[in-house]
Structure 1
Amino acid sequence: MKKSLAVILSGAMLMLAACGGGSNQASGDKKEKMVKIGITQIVEHPSLDATREGFIAALKDAGYEEGKNLKLDYQNAQGDMNNNASIAQKLVSDKNDLILAIATPSAQAAVQATKDIPILFSAITDPVSAELVQSLEKPGGNVTGTSDTHPDAIKNTIAAIKKFIPDAKKVGIIYNNGEPNSVINVKNAKEAIKEAGLEAVETTISTSSEVKQAAESMVGRVDVLYIPKDNTVVAALESVIAVANDKDIPVFSGDGDSVKRGTFASYGFDYHDLGYTTGKMAVEILKGKKPSEIPVGFPENLELIVNKNAAKEEGITLTEDLLKDAKIVGE
C-alpha cells in the first residue's frame, strides 16, 4: 500500500513538472521577436542626421524600441564610396530584417547588394533616375522610400535670389559632380537660373577638403552663391559660410537645415519629418506589407526660411515686406 502511494505521488509530481515546463514553454513562445534594422548613411551632416532621427522616432512611436524589441546597426561611410559598398554588403550578410539607406549613394549600394531584404531610402533627389525604383507610384522589387525633392523648392529658392538681391547677375554653384543627386539638382538649378535671367557659374569638387578653395575661387566672379543638396559640400558648409561672411557674398541653399547653420535663405522643409514618414513605411513593411506596394513619398510642406544673422554677416538689407511669411532663424 505504501509502495502504491509512493508511485502515485511520484507520478503526480512528474505531471506537475510537465505542466510547469509546458507553461514556461508557452511563456517563451510569447516572447517578442527582436527586429534587426541596418542603417547606412553616406556622410554626417544635419539634414541626413535629422532624417535618421525622424525614422527612429517613428519606429519608437509604433512600439519598436531599441534594446527592447529593436536592434539598430548604424553605419556611416564618411563620404568614402569603398566604405559605402562594404557597409551595404555587411548589412546584407548580417541578415537584417530591413535596411534604411540615407542619401543616393547609400541607396544605390544597398540595392546592388540585395534583392531579398526590404530596403527603404530617404533624402533621395530622383529615385527613378538613380535606378532605385521603376516608378514613383509603383516602385517594384524590394525598394521604396522618400524623396527630398519638392517640385517647387529649387525654382522658389532661385526666385528668392531676385527678390532679396535684385542687382544680382551671376550665381555661383559649388557641387560634387560625382554625386548623381547633385548633378540632377544642379541641372534643375541652372534651368531655374536661366529662366530668372541670371547666369550660372559652376565649380566642382570631389572631397569636402576642396570646398573652401572652391568657395574662395568664386570671390569676385559671382554676386551670390547657391549650394545645392550636395552631401560633400554640405558636410563642409562652414567653409563656404566663412568665405561668404568675410567677402559679403549672400548664400542661398537647397535645404532648410543649411540656413540654420548659416546660409542666408532657402525654400525648405524639416528633414526630421521626412525621416518620420520613412519610419512609418518601415512599420508597414515589418507588419507584412511589401515595399513594392508603397508609393515613394515626398515632403508635404515647403516654406521660406531666412537667417537674420547671416543677412547681417553677408551684407543683406532686410525689410518687413521681404520677410513676410518667412520663417526666421538665427535671431
Structure 2
Amino acid sequence: MRRREFTGFVGWTIVGWPLLVHAQQGQSKKRIGVLIARPENDPEGEGYITAFHQALEQLGWKSSHNVEIIYRWTPGDVRLAEALAKELVAAGPDILVINATAGVIAARGVAGTIPIVMVAVADPVAQGFVHSLERPGGSITGFAVEEPEMGAKWVELLKEIAPKVRHITAIYNPNSSPSAGMFLPAMKNVEVPLSFELAVSQVRTEDDLERAITIAGGQQEGGLVFLPDSFTSSHRDMIANLVARQGLPAIYSTPAFVKSGGLIGYGFDRADIFRRSAGYVDLILKGEKPSQLPVQMPTKYELAINLRAAKALGLSVSPTLLARADEVIE
C-alpha cells in the first residue's frame, strides 16, 4: 500500500505586490504572474508552487537569476479573482499562469496581448477560451481537466465504497465553476443501472454549503458528490467536518479532501498539471506562440481513500478498491 507525503514549500521567495525584486545589474529578468485558486498558505496550493518551481528550475529559470514570480491567491471568489487579475497585469508580467475557470475569465478580460497559460480549466472550447484543443488560436493555451464522462466514474466509486447509497446530491458553485454542470448528464445516465436518484445543489456561500449538506443528511441512504470547483476545494476542512457530522458518504473530485477527513477522492494530479505548465511557460518565454501550442489533458489521476472515515461510517472497503488506491489514510 503506497503512501504519499506532501512536499512542503521550501526555499522560494514569493514576490508580493507592489514590492518587486529588481533585476540584477546587466540582466533582464522575465516576470511571471500566477493566480492560484486556493487560499494563501493552503497546503495543496503550496504543493502546486513547489511543482511549478522545480520544473522551471530544471528548464533553467531561477528566481535568483533570470525570473521573478508574482503570486496571487483566491479561494474560489469571483470578484477577488477579477481584482487580483488586474493587479497581476498591472505588475507588467511577460506571461500569466492562471488556475481555474474564474481566474481565466478574469484574466482574459484585462490581459490584452499578454500570453496566458491556463491550468486546470474545464472544457475550454465550450467556454470560449480557445478555438480548439489542437489549435487554440489567440493568446491562451494550457491544460484542461476532466472529460464529462467523469461524472459517472465518481458515482460508480461512491456506490462501490458505499453500496447502500440511494440518494446522491451533486454539489458545486456555478459562479466559480460554471462548467461543472457538464458532468451531470453522465451521472443521470447511470441513475437506473446503479439504482440511485440524483439531486443537484448549487452553492455560492458557506451558508449555502452548510444548508445543502444538512438537507442531504436528511435523505434516507444519502450520499454526496462534490464536483470540480475551486470554491468547494478551498473549503475542504469545513466541508469534511459538515459531511462527517451528517454521517454521509461522499466522494470528492479533488483527492486532497481525504487529508481533511473526506472518505474518498478521485481526480487528476493537479500538482502534475502545474509541473507540466512550466514547460509551456518556458516555450512561450523563448518565443513560441500560445496559438500554436495545443491544449493538453491530464495524464495522471489519483484515487485516495480515508479508512478512518470509512470506519466512522460503518463501511467496509473491499481489498480490490484498496489495491487500486494511490493513497490510503489509516
TM-score by length of 2: 0.83
**For residues 281 and 199 of structure 1, do their structure 2 counterparts lie closer, same or farther at Cα, with a shift above 3 Å needed?**
same
Instruction: Name the structure 2 match of 1:41.
Output: 36
Residue 199 of structure 2 corresponds to residue 201 of structure 1: yes
Instruction: Name the structure 1 match of 2:139.
Output: 142
* Contact 2:32 2:95 survives alignment (8 Å): yes
Instruction: Name the structure 2 match of 1:226.
Output: 225
Instruction: Name the structure 2 match of 1:8.
Output: none
Distance 1:131 1:148 in 2: 15
**For residues 33 and 195 of structure 1, do their structure 2 counterparts lie closer, same or farther at Cα, with a shift above 3 Å needed?**
farther
The alpha-carbon deviation at position 247 of structure 1 amounts to: 3.3
Distance 1:58 1:296 in 2: 19
The alpha-carbon deviation at position 77 of structure 1 amounts to: 3.4
Q: Which has the larger radius of gyration?
A: 1
What is the DSSP-based 3-state SS (H/G/I as helix, E as strand, rest coil) of the residue aligned with 1:324?
Answer: helix
More divergent stretch after superposition (158-167 vs 272-281): 158-167
Residue 252 of structure 2 corresponds to residue 253 of structure 1: yes
Instruction: Name the structure 1 match of 2:112.
Output: 115
* Contact 2:29 2:67 survives alignment (8 Å): yes
* Contact 1:153 1:267 survives alignment (8 Å): no
Runs of 5+ consecutive residues of structure 2 not aligned to the other structure:
1-23
1:69 aligned residue (66, 87, 105): 66
What percentage of aligned pairs have identical amino acids?
26
* Contact 2:254 2:266 survives alignment (8 Å): yes
Distance 1:242 1:105 in 2: 26
* Contact 2:124 2:144 survives alignment (8 Å): yes
Instruction: Kindly provide the amino acid, as one letter, of the partner of residue 69 in structure 2.
Output: L
Distance 2:121 2:46 in 1: 14
* Contact 1:153 1:254 survives alignment (8 Å): no
Distance 2:271 2:232 in 1: 20
**For residues 82 and 93 of structure 1, do their structure 2 counterparts lie closer, same or farther at Cα, with a shift above 3 Å needed?**
same
Query: Which structure is higher in helix share?
Result: 1
**For residues 302 and 84 of structure 1, do their structure 2 counterparts lie closer, same or farther at Cα, with a shift above 3 Å needed?**
closer
The alpha-carbon deviation at position 213 of structure 1 amounts to: 2.8
Residue 93 of structure 2 corresponds to residue 96 of structure 1: yes
The alpha-carbon deviation at position 232 of structure 1 amounts to: 1.5
What is the DSSP-based 3-state SS (H/G/I as helix, E as strand, rest coil) of the residue aligned with 1:323?
Answer: helix
More divergent stretch after superposition (43-52 vs 91-100): 43-52
Instruction: Name the structure 2 match of 1:177.
Output: 174
CA deviations over 1:31-73 (Å, ceiling 9, x no partner): 4420101112344255555334322221122121223221111
Instruction: Name the structure 1 match of 2:282.
Output: 283
Instruction: Kindly provide the amino acid, as one letter, of the partner of residue 28 in structure 2.
Output: K
More divergent stretch after superposition (142-151 vs 179-188): 179-188
Instruction: Name the structure 2 match of 1:317.
Output: 316
Distance 2:156 2:163 in 1: 10
What is the DSSP-based 3-state SS (H/G/I as helix, E as strand, rest coil) of the residue aligned with 2:130?
Answer: coil
CA deviations over 1:285-319 (Å, ceiling 9, x no partner): 11111111111111112343222122112221123
* Contact 1:181 1:230 survives alignment (8 Å): no
Distance 2:133 2:192 in 1: 28
* Contact 2:151 2:184 survives alignment (8 Å): no
Residue 55 of structure 2 corresponds to residue 58 of structure 1: yes
The alpha-carbon deviation at position 321 of structure 1 amounts to: 3.3
Distance 1:134 1:268 in 2: 26
2:161 aligned residue (159, 164, 176): 164
What is the DSSP-based 3-state SS (H/G/I as helix, E as strand, rest coil) of the residue aligned with 2:170?
Answer: strand
* Contact 2:267 2:303 survives alignment (8 Å): yes
What is the DSSP-based 3-state SS (H/G/I as helix, E as strand, rest coil) of the residue aligned with 1:144?
Answer: strand
Instruction: Kindly provide the amino acid, as one letter, of the partner of residue 66 in structure 2.
Output: N
The alpha-carbon deviation at position 193 of structure 1 amounts to: 4.5
Distance 1:195 1:64 in 2: 52
* Contact 1:175 1:205 survives alignment (8 Å): yes
* Contact 2:149 2:183 survives alignment (8 Å): no
Distance 1:123 1:38 in 2: 16
